[in-house]
Amino acid sequence: MDIAHAADWTIPQGWQHYTAAEHAVWTTLFERQAALLPGRACREFLAGLKALDISAGIPDFELMSERLFGLTGWRVVAVPGLVPEDVFFEHLANRRFPAGNFIRRPDQLDYLEEPDVFHDVFGHVPMLTDPVFADYMQAYGQGGRRALQLGRLGNLARLYWYTVEFGLLRTDAGLRIYGAGIVSSRSESVFALDDPSPNRLGFSLRRVLRTPYRIDDFQQNYFVIDSLPALLDETVNTDFAPLYAELAALPDIPISAIEPTDLVFTRGTQSYAASH
Ligand code: PHE
Ligand code: FE
């Protein structure tokens, strides 16, 4: 996009310029997801959603950031859309979440290629109210800078995809969603938990770094973490440099394959992927 932006790609959100129709798109999406997610999203997400108080129209990032900063020291900054990887990592490493300021059109409620303010804010910001997840996202930004230097971003991006965007969490009450790409999508909020098609496998760092993903349709694999502290602990306390070196010599795992060492929650039929 050709909007003038600062060196860190931030722009004013321009909250006063949203139209009533744009606020209405937010509210429609919000109400649909808020009704669907209890019993599906994890308690950390639902608590964050409540704490942020963002049900009525597109949130003003300044006001939302004050609340978020008080909880975990994060802020949300506006950007025109996707930003270069190094810029993205720099923001995360400084506890700033870059969010697109535009909203999808009313005919795009169910699918959109580029992340908009609903995906970025509704999907991502509630989890940033959780202190453990907040630390994970900052560490990911630091890890991203390092992966760029080491030329292994292809591997690290899979970690983001299978946790931040499409992660599931094991709880006493059953599997729950914490991934932003799932909670911001009505159809995937159901598919990710209930459909017989995808594999649902225990999270393993090495395994995830070797597994390709789909960007344009429902996932063929979801990885289940034991807890948010376990995810933070494993990623922060592992030096990825030797891991990247090791992975460079190993082939990727075919997208729907199940490995003998996988902890299998669901052995997917892959019927959805086979017919799309
Ligand atoms: N510990 C990782 C490294 O050495 C950084 C990282 C932390 C990556 C958390 C992802 C998530 O590169
Ligand atoms: Fe996202």
Say what the pLDDT of residue 3 is.
62
Q: How would you label 146-162 residue by residue, b for 16+ Cβ within 10 Å and e otherwise?
A: bbeeeebbebbbbbbbb
Pocket test for ligand 1, best of 85, 140, 145, 163 (most atoms within 8 A of CB): 140
Which residues lie with the beta carbon below 6 Å from any ligand 1 atom? 139-140, 142-143, 146, 159, 235-236, 238-240
Ligand nearest to the CA of 119: 2
Provide DSSP, 93-104: HTTEEEEE----
Q: Looking at residue 112, what is its pLDDT? A: 84
Q: Which amino acid is at 222?
A: Y
The conformation of residue 195, written as its DSSP 8-state character, comes to -
- How far apart, in whole angstroms, are the C-alpha atoms of residue 61 and residue 246? 42
C-alpha separations of 225 from 14, 118, 184, 229 in Å: 38, 25, 20, 10
Phi-psi region of 150 (alpha: psi -120 to 50; beta: other; left: phi over 0): alpha
Q: How far is the CA of 47 from the centre of ligand 2 (A)?
A: 19
Report whether 273 contacts 256 (CB < 8 A): yes
End-to-end CA distance of the chain: 31
Given this model, what pLDDT does residue 111 score?
Answer: 84
Among residues 231, 66, 69, 226, which one has the least CA distance to residue 139?
231
pLDDT value for 4 = 80
- Per-residue pLDDT of 63-81, as tens digits, reads 999 999 999 999 999 999 9
Asked whether residue 2 carries a pLDDT value surpassing 80, the answer given is: no
pTM: 0.96
Q: Note the pLDDT of residue 159.
A: 98
Closest atom of ligand 1 to 239 CA is 4
Gap from CA of 164 to ligand 2 centroid (Å): 7
How far is Cα 112 from Cα 82, in angstroms, rounded to an integer? 13
Tokens of 95: 């506890």
What's the pLDDT tens digit per position in 226-263?
Answer: 999 999 999 999 999 999 999 999 999 999 999 999 99
Which tokens in the block code for residue 264?
A: 């299998």
Q: In the predicted model, is pLDDT for residue 18 greater than 70? A: yes
Instruction: Give the chain's mean pLDDT.
Output: 96
Cα 17–chain centre separation: 27
Does residue 5 have a pLDDT over 90? no
CA pseudo-torsion sign 189, 226, 135, 234: negative
Cα gap 185→190, rounded to integer Å: 9
Q: Mean pLDDT throughout 190-200?
A: 98
